[in-house]
Amino acid sequence: MTTTTDNILKRNQLSVTDSRKKILELFTANDGALAHSDIEKKTGEKFDRVTIYRTLQTFVEKGIIHTIPTVDNSVLYALCKMDCTEGHHHDNHVHFVCDNCNVTYCLDDVVTPKVNLPDGFKPKVMDVVVSGICKNC
């Protein structure tokens, strides 16, 4: 049987390995964003730290996941839900960070609003980070 994670990997011309499957599963199973350390914990330290770095980097390059800008400058990753392609990531995204439980949500469905920039600034990509209280708190 071919699982969803296998498909995602194959579609991106990546060989299907234990670490990639497991890490990708974490993302599909979770609607929150994950930090490198979360992944280490949730995989039970089964994989080398270096492997996790390389796997995440590969996934970002392929457009499977993307990094989330955070105010405290921790590094967070979340699944790309739609048309992200290698190299360029389609990110008109809204991210939500809960002040209480500290989970970061990637709200792909929320439409990003327009902003009026000063003269001379030409916008291309926009990332929005909202913080507050989430639906589960």
Binding site residues, a copy of itself, CB under 8 A: 67-75, 94, 96, 99, 105, 107, 109-136
Which does residue 50 bind out of a copy of itself, DNA, none, counting CB within 5 to 8 angstroms by kind?
DNA
Residues 6+ apart with CB under 8 A from 107: 93, 94, 95, 96
Answer yes or no: are the C-beta atoms of 72 and 106 closer than 8 Å.
no
- Phi then psi for residue 52, to 5 deg, are -65, -45
- Please provide the distance, in angstroms rounded to a whole number, between the alpha carbons at the two ends of the chain: 38
Report the residue from 4, 53, 125, 136 that binds DNA according to the rule CB under 7 A.
53
| Per CB under 7 A, 1 contacts DNA | no
List interacting residues with DNA (CB under 7 A).
10, 14-20, 36-37, 46-51, 53-55, 57-58, 73, 75
